[in-house]
A and B are shown apart, each in its own frame.
Chain A
Amino acid sequence: DVKVTQSSRYLVKRTGEKVFLECVQDMDHENMFWYRQDPGLGLRLIYFSYDVKMKEKGDIPEGYSVSREKKERFSLILESASTNQTSMYLCASSNRQGVLSYNEQFFGPGTRLTVL
């Protein structure tokens, strides 16, 4: 059974703080993703990575950065948190089995971040 875990379920930070959200998957997946989920806006892709040390910008990368030093771990970094980054953050992973095939994304439980 695929397991994607996120370091915190709830997090409260102050404006200007540096925030780290950690995601770990235990299925040796190549691809990892960070989304934010907001009511009325759905899921929006922030960054994704298809290999160690590789990263690609998603649709809303501004204000965020990522790090993937090990295959199983993908970190989302808010360099200077702002109130408009209050949201639910979802991590996902998938394997890369065949260039032309899509493989299901497995999601973590989410981290609800509040920036005061």
Chain B
Amino acid sequence: AQRVTQPEKLLSVFKGAPVELKCNYSYSGSPELFWYVQYSRQRLQLLLRHISRESIKGFTADLNKGETSFHLKKPFAQEEDSAMYYCALRPYSGAGSYQLTFGKGTKLSVIP
């Protein structure tokens, strides 16, 4: 069975400092990885997925299969980045798999 680990429950950084939210996974096959974000009083929403290889709101994440990691990074944190971040994995079964396995989440707090 697959597992997603986010080692930090809470991460506090100062505005303008770099941010790295860690995500490690265990899965024997080839997974798809995602980051979801939940801002205060808002719905959970997709932030980015590894196959897109894009930057969203200044965030990037690279899938490192050797280290089985998918860390979320941003060079300069903004106050509006304060939110709950969840890493998620979709096992690529080739037969149509719609389930996601989520990590426990990291609460990012950006200090003004």
Are B103 and A42 in contact (CB-based, < 8 A)? yes
Q: Answer yes or no: A12 CB below 8 A from chain B CBs.
A: no
Stretch at the interface among B39-47, B53-61, B65-73: B39-47
Are A58 and B99 in contact (CB-based, < 8 A)? yes
Count contacts on A: residues with CB < 8 A to the other chain.
Answer: 28
Pair count A-B, CB < 8 A: 50
> Chain B at the A interface: mostly helix, strand, loop or mixed?
loop
In the complex with contacts A94-B98, A100-B96, A102-B32, A107-B104 CB distance below 8 A: no
Min C-beta distance of A50 to chain B, whole Å? 6
Q: Which residues of B contact A59 (CB under 8 A)?
A: 101
Q: Answer yes or no: B102 CB below 8 A from chain A CBs.
A: yes
Q: Identify the closest chain A residue to B4 (Cβ).
A: A42
Contact pattern, B 87-104, Cβ under 8 Å of A = 1, otherwise 0: 000100011101111111
Residues of B within 8 A of A (CB): 6, 9, 32, 43-46, 49, 86, 90, 94-96, 98-105
